[in-house]
Amino acid sequence: MTTELTLRNARIVLPDEVVQGAVAIRDGVIADIWSGSSRVGEDMEGDFVVPGLVELHTDHLEGHYSPRPKVRWNPIASVLAHDAQVATAGITTVFDALRIGLDEDGEMRPDDMRRLGDAIRDGVEADRLRADHFIHLRCEVSAADCLECFAMFDGDDRVKLASLMDHAPGQRQFARLEAYQIYYMGKLKMSEEEFRAFCEKRVADSQKNSIPNREAIAAACAERGIILASHDDATLDHVEEARQQGVRVAEFPTTTMAARASKEAGMAVLMGAPNLVRGGSHSGNVSARDLAEAGTLDILSSDYIPFSLIQSAFHLGEVVEGISLPQAVAMVSRNPAAAVGLSDRGAIETGKRADLVRVRLDHHVPVVRSVWREGRRVA
């Protein structure tokens, strides 16, 4: 049975321009787009209609599953709560980041990650989720159990993206030991003596495990067709290592030099939307605005605040001269979709999935009023 829907009187954000007009949807796909007035369809009252957002890196799900220390929530309920929040923020495709390779001081265990992965898969199969969910494995390559945890996701077809990261002090995200000290001493409530021992162990683990784990995961991803990302690259050597390992997405490079080199090597450069909205990195690294101004920013990710993705799309053009709304919207829709090979979504074009978001600006803050995924209203 054919289903049809028309959204009229909208400011439609196309790949290269914004037009006042209408979008026709047929059987979950964009069937037609035209400018001008129409009396047929649902009146958007002059609001913006943008493509459904594509989120590649969010660890927001963990906060629903473990909302307090030593507390575990029902994994199905956790996924539902997370899904509701991302969908109402305009995100119609989300890569849920699950940690692989865990800190011995942390509470999360490998079976927690597998339990969440099962809840994501079951939610997709039961059609109980509003957004389209995939899995992103955040691989802490310095951890001794990294490969063992990675193997727990063998055969899981929801895994489409994996990132290589090493949070040992003195490098990458925490090249400045002061930032590392503030973050971890505050997080784990350690004394200075305990902190020194913690750092020594982290560095030793990195020296022992990082290189072999990187190489093994890169090879596994190449064999399984999983898109590979690097995390927190800071130097030219980091970028060259990523290039040799087949990395397609450079996540959160910490220096202008690394971002530029990553882009020149053909990688899509991803930065955090909270970084952009706040005006800087919480770790004291390069800002997303600086990379946008330099033309080396391709993708924005909500990271730890789902709403920051739509907020950044409308904020970027206000703080960086020369970036149009279509260009900014592409960084949260078309560009991330292309980076992971999802050619069926990410732009308002005929033949694409009808993943659409109705947005109204209120005091420069985007208000998400409606969300459609494949033409079906989900928020």
**Residue among 160, 182, 72 at smallest CA distance from 116:** 72
The CATH number of the domain holding residue 124 is 3.20.20.140
**364 part of a folded domain:** no
Average pLDDT of span 97-118: 86
**13 part of a folded domain:** no
Average pLDDT of span 7-29: 97
Distance between CA atoms of 205 and 123, rounded to whole angstroms?
36
Distance between CA atoms of 342 and 127, rounded to whole angstroms?
20
**309 part of a folded domain:** yes
**Three-state secondary-structure class, residue 166:** coil
pLDDT greater than 80 at residue 191 = no
Average pLDDT of span 74-87: 98
Question: Is 0.95 surpassed by the pTM of this model?
Answer: no
Q: How many separate domains does the chain show?
A: 1
Amino acid identity of residue 88, one-letter, is T
**252 part of a folded domain:** yes
Tokens 């489409």, residue? Answer: 160
- The confidence band for 182, taking pLDDT boundaries of 50, 70 and 90, is low
**135 part of a folded domain:** yes
Write out pLDDT tens, residues 215-229. 999 999 999 999 999
**33 part of a folded domain:** no
pLDDT greater than 90 at residue 87 = yes
Check: CB of residue 366 under 8 Å from CB of residue 13.
Answer: no
Element (H, E) at 270: strand 268-272
**73 part of a folded domain:** yes
Check: CB of residue 329 under 8 Å from CB of residue 17.
Answer: no
pLDDT greater than 90 at residue 282 = no
**28 part of a folded domain:** no
Query: How many percent of the chain have pLDDT more than 90?
Result: 79
Amino acid identity of residue 216, one-letter, is A
Check: CB of residue 52 under 8 Å from CB of residue 86.
Answer: no
3-class SS shares of the chain: helix, strand, coil, % to 5: 40, 25, 35
3-state SS, 175-187, equals: CCHHHHHHHHHHH
Minimum mean pLDDT range among 140-144, 157-161, 180-184: 180-184
Check: CB of residue 232 under 8 Å from CB of residue 172.
Answer: yes
- The confidence band for 275, taking pLDDT boundaries of 50, 70 and 90, is very high
Query: What's the token pair of residue 189?
Result: 């409530």
DSSP code of residue 204: H
User: Which residue range forms the structural domain that includes residue 262?
Assistant: 54-343
pLDDT greater than 70 at residue 284 = no
